Structure 1
Amino acid sequence: MPSEPRPAPFRMPERIFAELAAGGGSPEAVAFLERAERARRLLLLRTLLDRLDTLRTPLSPPGEAWAVLKEAAAVAPGPVDRLLLAPATGGWIAHLLRRLHGTASGPPLWAEAGHLCALALAASVRAGTRADLMVSLADGGLPLPGLGLARLPGAEGGLTVGHARTSGGELMLSGPGRDGGTLSVTVRPATQPLPAPAAEAAVSVVEASVSAAEAPVPTVEGPVSSVAYPVSAVEAPAPAVEAPAPAAETPAPASGAPVPTVEGPVSAVAYPVSAVEAPAPAAETPAPASGAPVPTVEGPVSSVAYPVSAVEAPAATVEALAPAVEAPVPAVEALAPAAETPAPAVEAPAPAAEAPGPSTWLPLRTLTHRTPEGPLAIPLEDLDPYRDLDDPLPPARLDADEAEAWQRLFEEAVALLAEPGGDGPGRLYPGAIRAVVPWGRTGTLPPAPPTVLVSASSGDSFGAMVIARPSSAVALAETLVHEFQHSKLAALLHLFPLLDDDREERYYAPWRPDPRHLTGLLHGAYAFTGVTGFWRDRLAGARDDRAADTAGYHFALRRLQSRLVVRTLLAEGRLTPQGRALVSGLARTLDGWLREPVPYAALTRARTAAALHRTEWRLRNVDPGVETPSDGPRFRPDRTSWPDVRTHAFADRPAAPHTADEHLAAGDAAAALARYAGQLAADPAEPHALAGWIVARAVLEPGRATRRMLARPELLQPLPSG
């Protein structure tokens, strides 16, 4: 009796895992992650379709929409595959699955499920096929994912049902009007590339949604459940303990084998006090803090909110680190021709013939970037309802001036990232970005701040990043690197269980005001290793002393902070074998960087800033009245969020210091100590001033007593005399 055919598992070659574990990732490594994300996406989509079969809806049933998608995929497999793998499609699938599991809320379920009809219509427009579907309209608008938004002027407000037909790339949309009649409009959907600086004429644009090593096009023939894809949920949090640092940092082995760097117990002190002592031999160069280390969402924002175990397909094994075995692409049967059909190298946007006017069609704008292989088009996504991290949003159309400001800034940021270098941490090929989602502003006024105030990403939306636009190209470039690191790690977490996390928020994260869980620590360590590499490249390419000083500060600060968190992760004993291999790879990268020289003044400021952050964090979070138990500190019931104003303030050495912080950043600890003491005379328990006083005192009087103060600053009686 013949045996059942076994689906082929993903096998990640050791060299690709090693690249990713080091914090970097070549285009080949990123392409492998995208193939894995594709398999996961199709599994979740199959699960969703099965669950929607019995949903009562006034719209066309899911089976009809899926048939339209299948037909379009047979004609134009590349564009339809990219549509299904777009970040917003992943956000919709994950959100709707959470709705079905009762862990999310939103508009009526039939309306959200009806987004499948919008996807089908977008696919039909791309392929030039015919479709006839009943759709959900929001205030008379129908989003076409990857294309834009069709609108019926004068339509009835709220959620209504409309009728949409496509033929030859045109969309005919009708729906109820405010006066009780029926409105209709015909549009030819097309995106709108933003003009690149110094652009001469419109050129065809490469769809930046699929890597060069593209997976075979999805096909609907055959059950998706046959795909061998490990749906390991990363929900397993682990008990956390304050990250104490080992007495001495053991450099990771140079061998290729990903072996844990830190063995053995950690010391009682949770922070390397060398930050305020004499400069450590041969390294601890602080890391960057300029451009604005992005306040980001550390951790896959929505990737673990949906219990992937709901996927009814058998979760297959992922064999990571399979030595000397290349990565065969999994046998995913899902949407169209089984043959591998790479997307065309260049795809021109549909012509804007019969321009319907701005009131009936809002095109999706794309950021244009020219490469030797041709231009890239990266969606500047302000229309899709599932562009954010979870709940659906209404459109937030950018003004034309704001969209052009994004284009200019993006081109400058990408030029920075394109400077010569390898594939290591801090490097990012712009074609890997799948979407940029503007946050918080739709116009150019008030002027954008120099730093990125908000950025975030989601494991459900590979390659997308939500960003509040800064005015600085360096800040945007740093944020692009930071958020793409989150995407890579989220993809790895979908493949392998990396740690056992109980989600207890009890660990110190040097870039956060609050305690974090282990998954958040892992995301932060991975993201900031990339940020550290970004600033290392800026230091190497600095054209003058000032630029070298600023880049050196950020490089030194972030390498020190990232290594501290890596030490915590290794010491906790909660990593799986793959997780330990990954974190050990980060340790090797950071250990090498800690030996690299940095301008002395920048290194000193970085160490001081690192000590200040940890000291203030403990003063604001840790309860001094509770003895620290073996499983970590106990936290104050009255703790609140607080702004970290020092990390960026210490990036540049003040020329004419006035405040206590400025004197400390300038290297005058005595003047800083006196000013902090003056502030504490009015409020002896004020955490910001008390943290400054403790660190300034430790700089002036290094020794056992000050090391104890730095280790447990919350125990200090707030009665300093100065």
Structure 2
Amino acid sequence: MQHTSARTPAAHTPTHHTLPPSSFHELLAGGGGVAAVDALCAGERSWRLLVVRAFLDAAAGVPAGPLPSVVDGWRLLVRAWEADARAAERVLAYPAVGVWAAHTLRRLRGSAEDDAPLWVHTGHLHALAASAAILAGLEFRTDVPVRHGWAVLPLVGAMRVDGTGWSTAEVAADGGRVTVAGRAVPGPGWHTPAELSADGCVLVLDDLDPYRVLRGPAAPEPLDRADDWRELFAGAWAVLRETGAEEAGALARGLSVVVPRPRAERFRPHSASSGDAFGAALASVPDDAEQFAATLVHEFQHNKLSALMHLFTLHEDPGTRLRYAPWRDDPRPLGGLLQGVYAFHGVTGFWRRRQHPLGRFEFALWRAQTAHALRSLADAEELTVLGRRLVAELSATLEPWLAEPVDARCRAAADLAVSDHRATWRAYHLRPDPRTVRAHAEALGRGAPPPASDPASTPAPTLAPGRPARGLDTRAVLLRRILAEPAGLAGPDVRDDPGAVVEGARPEDVALVTGRVSEALDAFRARIARGDGDPESWVGLGLAARATGNPAGAALLAAPELAMALYAEAGGRGRDPLELLRV
């Protein structure tokens, strides 16, 4: 089946993408100006065309259901490109198109499932072609899929039509008049995606595209209050310009879409991006403009690294070995950790230039966690030469930041959050060697000191991923509330039911982060003694003990998995865990 002609977007002269040395260095160091982002955009154009062409080849001969053939959809797209290449390129470059092509390829190859008939996915090509044809000012007539009562034309808009399942709707343009399902556009039932606009940056607020949420198909969810997002973005753009005008300009060049999601818990924003969707950032409703700015920086870092990895191989990891990621509750493969390092390197740089208490806390927290992750990657055998260079460049940029002063209060809060996350992760996901546990238990039974630890001969704990009962950031969220508001945890509601304020929080957590460490120590000890000693309680005990000057605290935090196993081995319920363990 012939899909292309000499003048189609998929038949351009082969391009060998290169990066100027200056741009290459900028990107490896975590930055990248407008020239570097333009080069990444060019590479992503070729990547997108390759994925679309792969879809066309895989869809050849596949039944089209009630829609015209894939060939007919491609021909309309070619017509649009010949009439107005820029319009067609806008549609093809739309981030959700990459998700559509990748997901539909997986459906065609049998490696993905969802509840839509296959023809709905393959037929989305007709919706793309119709959007390009409308933008190019063509006269045409075609049918497009209808999902959950919506006929969606990517980048253009969506029409609410009758029905709730899978059907089709006619899209036509004649004499400058566009209709969808027989109704005029714009008109009743039509929804146009909003734009977020500020000086130098325009983003589409995509609440319609079925492939916008990055993980798979989703129904349109038109926003009731796009003005709230516009106001937040205006403030976020001002923050970005103030924080770094050059970085903001690069972001405006590469980011094109924000996918709005429902509001998350305060200080726990949800955001995401995908290597299939360059230019898109999914984000829950931000708490404020500054958080929105930080989220855009975070997700654009992911966008840049994904685009760089489409051009260069940074690692050769099958994903079987999992590692500690200081910003996640779960263990991650090397590729995921590398993505996180790159994103939080950018986040650290953002907060470095924010001078209020919460900003200084975020800077101190993420510089420490990013440095820890970079050190863990330095000797990763799965990294390529270029991957090792990336880690080295990021480390060199971060190193002087570690010496920058942060006031004592914010630094102490960050140190608590760092120790809490690392130790709680260990307690949930690591299991000590049984021989080590028995040796410690036998020494305890004899009243002898714990056996000396020889790293060369002592078996390392094994990774056995657990299921955290709450977010590992729970106490960090409490700390953020204190730093953001002078009386952030002072109300009676917080004392009586802190879980209603911060999901998962307990009274002893509030006592710990507000400096009532003796009270917290007693509460954690009592919880463990009565048999409710979950990882959060053990780590809380260690944090409180360390804060009171008890040397057992630091030892417990270094190996909470061993402390928990030894307590269980020695039948410790009802006994003082600190005295029993003598760690």
TM-score tier after normalising by the smaller chain length: 0.7 to 0.9
Contact 1:452 1:469 in 2 (8 A): no
Residue in 2 that maps onto 1:87: 95
Q: Tell me the residue number matched to 1:68.
A: 76
Superposition map of 1:47-446 within 5 A? 47-57=54-64, 58-106=66-114, 107-138=116-147, 141-152=150-161, 155-174=162-181, 184-187=182-185, 355-357=186-188, 359=189, 361-371=190-200, 376-399=201-224, 402-421=225-244, 423=246, 429-440=251-262
Of 462, 466, 487, the residue aligned with 1:634 is: 462
Q: How big is the shift at 1:411?
A: 1.2
CA drift at 1:421: 3.0
Q: Return closer, same or farther for 1:168/1:632 CA change in 2, 3 Å cut-off.
A: farther
Asked whether the 8 Å contact 1:380–1:435 carries over to 2, the reply is yes
Deviation per residue, 1:574-618 (Å, 9 max, x gap)? 210111111111111211210111112211221121011111111
Q: Structure 1 length normalisation: TM-score?
A: 0.67
Give the whole-Å Cα distance in 2 for the aligned partners of 1:456 and 1:32. Answer: 23
**What SS is found at the alignment partner of 2:90?**
helix
Quote the Cα distance in structure 1 between the aligned partners of 2:243 and 2:373. Answer: 29
Q: CA separation in 1, counterparts of 2:426 and 2:168? A: 55
- Kept in 2: contact 1:133–1:165 (CA 8 A): yes
TM-score (norm: length of structure 2): 0.82
Q: Within 5 A, what are the aligned runs for 1:583-602?
A: 583-602=391-410
Partner of 2:536: 688
Pair 1:33 & 2:77 matched: no
Cα shift at 1:663? 4.7
Aligned CA-pair RMSD: 2.8
1:128/1:161 CA distance change after superposition, 3 Å? same
Q: 1: CA distance between counterparts of 2:333 and 2:26?
A: 25
Contact 1:552/1:602 (8 A) holds in 2: yes
Mapped pair 1:608 → 2:416: yes
Unmatched 5+ stretches in structure 1:
1-5, 175-183, 188-354, 442-447, 540-546
Q: Residue 9 of structure 1: CA displacement?
A: 1.8
Please tell me whether residue 720 in structure 1 is matched to residue 577 in structure 2: yes
CA contact (8 A) 2:131 2:156 kept: yes
Alignment correspondent of 1:582: 390
RCO higher in structure (CA 8 A, sep ≥6): 1
Unaligned runs of 5+ in 2: 1-12, 437-456, 496-506, 568-575
CA contact (8 A) 2:37 2:250 kept: no
In percent, how many aligned pairs have the same letter? 38
Structure 1 residues 429 and 47, CA gap change in structure 2 (3 angstroms): closer
- The residue that corresponds to 2:366 in the other structure is 558
The CA distance in 1 between the partners of 2:175 and 2:215, in whole Å, is 34
Q: CA deviation at 1:125?
A: 0.7
Counterparts of 1:398 and 1:489 in 2: how far apart (Å)? 30
Give the residue type in structure 2 aligned to 1:27.
Answer: V
| Cα deviation code 1:240-277 (max 9, x no counterpart) | xxxxxxxxxxxxxxxxxxxxxxxxxxxxxxxxxxxxxx
Aligned residues: 516
Q: Which moved more, 1:27-36 or 1:429-438?
A: 429-438
**Residue 403 of structure 2 is aligned to residue 573 of structure 1:** no
Give the letter for the 2:22 counterpart. Answer: R
Q: Does the 8 Å CA contact 1:450/1:472 hold for their aligned counterparts?
A: no
In structure 1, what is the Cα distance between the partners aligned to 2:91 and 2:349? 32
Alpha-carbon contact 2:524-2:540 (below 8 Å) kept: yes
* Alpha-carbon distance in structure 2 between the residues aligned to 1:602 and 1:34: 39
Q: Deviations over 1:355-406 (max 9, x none)?
A: 422x2x11121122233xxxx431111111111113211111111xx21111
Q: Which amino acid aligns with 2:211?
A: Y
Judging changes above 3 Å, is the alpha-carbon distance between structure 1 residues 632 and 364 closer, same or farther for their aligned structure 2 residues? farther
In structure 2, do the counterparts of structure 1 residues 641 and 17 end up closer, same or farther at CA, with 3 Å as the change threshold?
farther
| SS of corresponding position for 2:144 | strand
Deviates more, 1:620-629 or 1:84-93: 620-629
Kindly indicate whether the alpha-carbon contact (under 8 Å) linking 1:24 and 1:427 is maintained by their aligned counterparts in 2: no
Quick one: which amino acid aligns to residue 62 of structure 2? Answer: L
Please state whether the residue corresponding to 2:354 is helix, strand or coil: helix
Aligned amino acid, residue 183 of structure 2? V
**Aligned equivalents of 1:411 and 1:484: distance in 2?**
18
- Cα distance in 2 for partners of 1:617, 1:391 equals 29
Preserved CA contact (<8 Å) 1:139 1:159: yes
On the 8 A contact 1:21/1:581 being kept in 2, the answer is: yes
3-state DSSP of counterpart to 1:11: coil
Q: CA deviation at 1:672?
A: 3.9
Q: 1:386 to 1:451 in 2, by over 3 A?
A: same
1: CA distance between counterparts of 2:297 and 2:94? 19
Deviations 1:325-366 (A, max 9, x none): xxxxxxxxxxxxxxxxxxxxxxxxxxxxxx422x2x111211
Secondary structure at 1:466 match in 2 = strand
Letter matched to residue 552 of structure 1: R
CA distance in 2, matches of 1:636, 1:432: 39
